[in-house]
Amino acid sequence: NHNNGNKGSDNDDNDEDAEESKEKDKEAEMQRIEKLYPRYIELRKKHGAMDFNKKATEKMMSVTVTIKSMDPESITAKPVEKKLPTAMTVSQLKLLCKRLFKLHPQYQRLTFRSQGDGLPDDMYDDTKSL
């Protein structure tokens, strides 16, 4: 019985060591961020901490779009829903549309419409990101 009690305290020590290690890692990470971004702490105090959660970051870095062809040759094709990186350019999106709808980019005119918006906006600048 006495040995079982020791095992429990060893586990408690391990938990404490793990917590200490996490704190040190967190501290080292904050020092690294502060070194890279000197104003981060000042801005954090003013605006609150940034969420470095991977899922939240992924949401900010991507957008879900529904791509629909209005070309007479492919208008009957079903709309395609894709999750695209926000860094993708209009010209890269045109290449994707070429693959999906078999229409050369020079004949494409892309438009963008947010849900609930009435009229679509032209996406005329091939160098712009989504």
- pLDDT digits 0-9 by tens, 31-56: 887 788 888 777 878 777 766 666 66
Q: What is the pLDDT of residue 57?
A: 64
Q: Report the alpha-carbon distance of residue 123 to residue 97 in Å, rounded.
A: 13
Does the structure show a pLDDT above 60 at 101? yes
pTM confidence score: 0.56
Q: What is the pLDDT of residue 58?
A: 63
